[in-house]
Structure 1
Amino acid sequence: MTSFIVKAHLNRRIHPDWLKQGAEVKMLEDDPATCTFCRIIEGKLAARKVFENERVVAFLDIMPIRRGHVLVVPKAHFMRLSDLPEEDASALGAAVSKVCKALVNALEHSALNVVCNQEYAQAVPHVHYHIIPAPKIGSATEEVSYSFSQPPVSLGAVHRMEIEGRDELDDEDATTLVKAIASRM
Structure 2
Amino acid sequence: MTSFIINAHANRSVAPTWKNKPEADSCPFCLIYQHEVTGFVVYENDLVIAILDILPLRPGHTLVIPKVHCARVSELSPEYSRALGEAVTKVSLGLTKALENTALNVVCNQEYAQAVHHVHYHIIPAPQFDVPVSNVKGKGKSPVTKQDMHYAEFEARTVLEDEEGEEMRRRIVAKM
TM-score by length of 1: 0.68
Return the match for 1:114 from 106, 109, 112: 106
Matched, 1:155 2:146: yes
Deviations 1:30-54 (CA, angstroms, capped at 9, x unpaired):
7110111000011111100000011
Return the structure number with greater relative CO, CA threshold 8 A, min gap 6.
Answer: 2
Structure 1 runs of 4+ aligned residues shifted over 6 Å read 11-14, 144-148, 156-159
Is contact 1:73-1:92 (8 Å) kept?
yes
In structure 1, the partner of 2:57 is 65
Cα distance between partner residues in 1 of 2:11 and 2:55: 12
- List runs of 5+ in structure 2 lacking aligned partners: 151-176
Structure 2 partner of 1:131: 123
- Structure showing greater Rg: 1
CA gap of 1:124–1:131, structure 2 versus 1, over 3 A, is same
Q: Which has the higher helix share?
A: 2
- The farther-off stretch of 55-64 and 5-14 is 5-14
3-state SS, counterpart of residue 68 of structure 2: coil
Task: Specify which of 96, 113, 118 is matched with residue 104 of structure 1.
Answer: 96
**Which aligned pairs between 1:35-50 and structure 2 lie closer than 5 A?**
35-50=27-42
What corresponds to 1:94 in structure 2? 86
In percent, how many aligned pairs have the same letter? 50
Aligned length: 147
Cα distance in 1 for partners of 2:137, 2:8 equals 8
Work out which of the residue numbers 26, 31, 34 in structure 1 matches 2:26.
34
- Root-mean-square deviation over aligned CA pairs: 3.4
> Is the 1:66–1:147 contact (alpha carbons within 8 Å) kept by the matching residues of 2?
no
